[in-house]
Amino acid sequence: MIAELQTEVAETECTVRLYNWTPYRPAYISGAPENCYPAEGGYGDWALFVKDQRAEWLEAQLTPQQIDSIEAQLFEMMEQS
Distance CA 41, CA 61 (A): 26
Mean pLDDT for the chain overall: 93
What pLDDT does 81 receive?
A: 62
pLDDT digits (tens, 9 = 90+) for 23-59: 999 999 888 888 899 999 999 999 999 999 999 999 9
The pLDDT of residue 68 is above 70: yes
pLDDT > 90 in the chain, percent: 81
Distance CA 61, CA 52 (A): 19
Among 3.40.109.10, 3.30.300.260, 3.10.180.10, 1.10.10.10, what is the CATH number of 3-79?
3.30.300.260
Are 74 and 19 within 8 A, CB to CB? Answer: no
Element (H, E) at 15: strand 12-22
